[in-house]
Amino acid sequence: DLQGIKTNAKRDGDDWILNGSKVFITNGYLADVVIVVAVTDPTAKSPAHGISLFIVEAGMPGFSKGRKLKKMGFKAQDTAELFFEDVRLPATQLLGTVNKGFYMLMNELPQERLLIASLSQAGAEFVFEETRQYVKARKAFGHTLSSLQTIQHRLAEMKTDLCVSRAFVDQCLEMLNEGRLDSETASMAKYWVSDLFNKIAYQGVQLHGGWGYMWEFPVCKAYVDARLQPIYGGANEIMKELIARSVLKS
């Protein structure tokens, strides 16, 4: 909720004084530089008209990093809390134009959502390939799993879904490169492909049987990582709201 931001920055001469905190910050613990969204005009008629972006560097007085949050997945990537207590920022640390930060963020959201869709597509394709190789090698009741029609049909469904989603992601990437990617299309890609990643990961674990539940198998880690995709970058429920709003508006 970008319009519900509590972190604020107040002018003090030519400087800004930053106060507040952030949570769920990707790579926040290791970051040397962070871009902080803060309210700079609390009296604005719309919250969107009073938000600015600031560049804050590690080591600045008043800027501290909290604990690394213990996540279910994505363990190679730290997620942290950040705290700002009377951080004095020169005017040069303002990114862009004062009170225009909300619009700068909005311009980046389609690319962010497409990034999540692309990561989900890659993850789903990885799980499929791991599963395909596993069922070809794994034997049960004297036969490989891949010789069973029910397994073959599962693989056929997974492959078809992946080809369809890959085509959509590729189309979105082309639109992004041409400057034509809009919020509605990016939201559809994020929602659809991240959901598909979870479905493919579920099938991958299922077809691996008990081994799919073991951390030593990549599909187990992928299953946990997949769960984040429909949550971050805007929950998929919000993506559906944005899509529906655009559909009804037109």
CATH of the domain at 34: 2.40.110.10
Do 66 and 48 fall within a single domain?
A: yes
Active site residues: 112
- d(CA 57, CA 32) in angstroms, rounded, equals 6
Do 195 and 128 fall within a single domain?
A: yes
Can you tell me whether residue 20 is helix, strand or coil? strand
| Residue where a domain stops, chosen among 47, 72, 99 | 99
- d(CA 3, CA 121) in angstroms, rounded, equals 30
| Residue where a domain stops, chosen among 99, 127, 161 | 99
Q: What is the mean pLDDT of each run of 10 residues along the chain (250 residues)?
A: 85 98 95 97 91 98 96 93 98 97 94 98 99 97 95 98 99 97 97 99 98 97 98 96 93
Domain that holds residue 6: 2-99
| Pair 102, 49: CB distance under 8 Å | yes
Exposure string for 89-103, b = 16+ CB within 10 A, e = fewer: beeebbbeebbbbbe
Do 165 and 116 fall within a single domain?
A: yes
Do 151 and 203 fall within a single domain?
A: yes
| Residue where a domain stops, chosen among 66, 99, 132 | 99
Domains in the chain, number: 2
| Pair 91, 41: CB distance under 8 Å | no
What CATH number did the domain enclosing 136 receive? Answer: 1.20.140.10
Do 159 and 242 fall within a single domain?
A: yes
Do 130 and 49 fall within a single domain?
A: no
Do 92 and 128 fall within a single domain?
A: no
| Residue-wise pLDDT tens digits, 80-103 | 999 999 999 999 999 999 999 999
Do 65 and 122 fall within a single domain?
A: no
Do 91 and 163 fall within a single domain?
A: no
Do 224 and 181 fall within a single domain?
A: yes
Do 120 and 93 fall within a single domain?
A: no
Do 38 and 156 fall within a single domain?
A: no
Return the pLDDT at 2: 67
Return the pLDDT at 4: 77
- d(CA 72, CA 174) in angstroms, rounded, equals 34
Return the pLDDT at 23: 95
